[in-house]
Amino acid sequence: MQTIQASEVEKKFDNGEDVSEYMDFSKAQKLSTLLNQSNNEYEEVKIFFPKNFMHLIDEKVKEIGVNREAFIKMLIAQNLNLTH
């Protein structure tokens, strides 16, 4: 795996270039795979966030290319150590 600045990877990605040589996939798992492995039924949760908080979330989801729900699930999975 080559070393490169995150800003350079972002530029390459935005230009449609393959950036996989800069990624470490040794422990990678899809969040959907992790969630499906749980064999649990889903429960709806309603959470209220301040508008300025949602603005920050919206900026981040645009940056990484996922929707709000996926982003929040990713954060929770990371904090529960489900992504390792």
d(CA 20, CA 73): 24
d(CA 52, CA 32): 28
Whole-prediction pTM value? 0.51
Give residue for tokens 């492995």. Answer: 37
pLDDT computed for residue 62 by the predictor? 92
Q: Is the pLDDT of residue 7 over 70?
A: yes
d(CA 57, CA 8): 23
Opening angle at CA 16, ends 67 and 12, nearest 5: 95
Q: Is the pLDDT of residue 32 over 90?
A: no
pLDDT computed for residue 54 by the predictor? 94
pLDDT computed for residue 11 by the predictor? 86
Q: What is the pLDDT of residues 34-74, one digit of tens each?
A: 666 656 677 888 999 999 999 999 999 999 888 999 899 88
Residue 79 three-state SS: helix
